[in-house]
Amino acid sequence: MFHLINRILAPRKYHADILYSSIVAQARKQKIFSDWGVPDTPDGRFDSLVLHMVMVLYRLSHCDDSDVHRQFGKELIEVMIEDLDHNFRELGVGDLAVGKRIKGMLKAFYGRMENYGQAFESQDEALLEQVVVRNIYRKSEKMPSEAQIKQLCAYIWQQTQHLQHYSGAQIRQDDFIWGELNLHGDNGGV
């Protein structure tokens, strides 16, 4: 019932909620953590979420009618903030601390968005690898192998290219499918 009301009264928010759920589901695919060495920790899961958010936001910002899509991107970020807030409160983090933590996470989010954006714009594989190592693997107890880093970067390039096949309207409506996780003949599970 509430979904119907939200869909009628706030359709962009409704679609942002649905798209955010799709992003979270993709960012939490087990292969990302088990095969590519992304730490399966709160920080690692946050970095995977940020990466997937940035890929979608980057695509939206490069579509025709990008002003509409940028506004939708802001709504998508608001949904992420609401989710982070909710998760912190579920963990028992106090009201005063929640705001500080989210502020720090948003600072990290926007910094990563800029760094990934530079790598996407330049299509520089070495730069993307540096950004990935600096951000995703920064708190790894054990550094991943060179092959794992390259596989994660190949996945990122594959997803950014895959998203190019969809219009901003399709992405906003969550009318797209993420690319496959299997790369280079890798037959590992999702």
Is residue 174 within 8 Å of residue 19, measured between CB atoms? yes
Amino acid letter, 126: A
Give the least confident one: 25-34, 72-81, 177-186: 177-186
Neighbours of 91 (CB within 10 A): 9
- The tokens for 139 are 């708190």
Q: Which helix (H) or strand (E) holds 148?
A: helix 146-163
Q: What is the DSSP letter of 76?
A: H
Query: 178 pLDDT exceeds 70?
Result: yes
Query: 34 pLDDT exceeds 90?
Result: yes
- The tokens for 23 are 């992003």
136: left (phi over 0), alpha (psi -120 to 50) or beta: alpha
Q: What is the pTM of this model?
A: 0.86
Is residue 27 within 8 Å of residue 56, measured between CB atoms? no
Is residue 121 within 8 Å of residue 149, measured between CB atoms? no
How confident is the model at residue 140, as a pLDDT?
A: 79
How confident is the model at residue 151, as a pLDDT?
A: 96
Query: 172 pLDDT exceeds 80?
Result: yes
Mean pLDDT of 82-110: 84
Query: 7 pLDDT exceeds 70?
Result: no
